[in-house]
């Protein structure tokens, strides 16, 4: 389906036209010039190995206590004729090599909400600074992050810290998905606030990755 989209793609923005004719050849060109991606097909064309994952935002109470986590959240509003449902979803995309995006959307159906969230994530891509900022490791490979970074969304505050090689992802399961998509292998983290609201938690992690881009690293 993605290929069909590509073949019939008629760009509607200046940036879209220069991507299609090949004068803009990578996402780095776009980010360094500070231009904004307004068409998801731009990302499809420039990043062929794109993968996506869904953040578990919803849940239904299961048998024997606890909660069964689901990738879509169903909320209900009352209407004169009964209940109306809205499905919302948060998607995370990346190429496992330094780019990540996150997006959310809501619709009346699961499939449509997920599809819209993935498209929105493509419009919200950032480069991820990778490196080794760990004093215990001090190698030069990009297996972790170069410095400590902090992000916020709602009441949730997340601190990401560089970790030495072999530590793995010491972070919440939802953020693990994001780290894998970004291509980070080792990380330590701390979090504060209502971290069980996964929408805010994943957006706080994204905010921390975004803030790292404000620093200059050689
Ligand atoms: Zn290292």
Domain ranges of the chain: 1-45, 128-212
Over the stretch 97-136, which tens digit does the pLDDT of each residue have? Answer: 889 999 999 999 999 999 999 999 999 999 999 988 888 8
- Fold topology of 128-212: Ribosomal Protein S5; domain 2 (3.30.230)
Q: What is the pLDDT of residue 56?
A: 92
Average pLDDT value over all residues in the chain? 90
Q: Across-strand partners of 104?
A: 90
Q: What is the pLDDT of residue 217?
A: 67
Tokens at 190, concatenated: 């701390």
Q: Is 166 left (phi over 0), alpha (psi -120 to 50) or beta?
A: left
218 alpha carbon to ligand 1 midpoint, in Å? 15
Q: How many residues does the chain have?
A: 218
147 alpha carbon to ligand 1 midpoint, in Å? 12
Confidence of residue 26 (pLDDT cuts 50, 70, 90): confident
Query: What global pTM score does this model have?
Result: 0.90
- The tokens 């449902």 sit on which residue? 85
165 alpha carbon to ligand 1 midpoint, in Å? 5
Q: How far apart are alpha carbons 16 and 103 in whole angstroms?
A: 20
Mean pLDDT, residues 181-189: 94
Q: What is the pLDDT of residue 61?
A: 81
97 alpha carbon to ligand 1 midpoint, in Å? 16
144 alpha carbon to ligand 1 midpoint, in Å? 7
């Amino acid at each position: 389906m993605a290929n069909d989209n590509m073949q019939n793609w008629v760009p509607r923005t200046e940036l879209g036209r220069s991507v299609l004719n090949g004068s803009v050849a990578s996402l780095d060109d776009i980010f360094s010039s500070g231009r904004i991606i307004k068409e998801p097909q731009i990302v499809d064309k420039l990043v062929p190995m794109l993968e996506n994952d869904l953040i578990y935002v919803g849940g239904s109470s299961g048998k024997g206590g606890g909660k069964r986590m689901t990738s879509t959240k169903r909320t209900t509003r009352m209407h004169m004729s009964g209940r109306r449902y809205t499905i919302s979803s948060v998607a995370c995309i990346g190429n496992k090599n330094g780019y990540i995006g996150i997006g959310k959307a809501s619709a009346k159906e699961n499939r449509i909400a997920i599809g819209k969230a993935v498209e929105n994530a493509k419009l919200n891509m950032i480069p991820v600074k990778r490196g080794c900022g760990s004093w215990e490791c001090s190698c030069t490979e990009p297996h972790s992050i170069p410095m400590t970074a902090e992000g916020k969304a709602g009441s949730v505050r997340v601190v990401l810290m560089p970790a030495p090689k072999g530590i793995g992802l010491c972070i919440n399961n939802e953020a693990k998905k994001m780290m894998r998509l970004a291509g980070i292998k080792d990380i330590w983290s701390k979090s504060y606030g209502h971290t069980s609201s996964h929408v805010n938690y994943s957006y706080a992690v994204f905010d921390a990755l975004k803030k790292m881009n404000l620093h200059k690293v050689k």
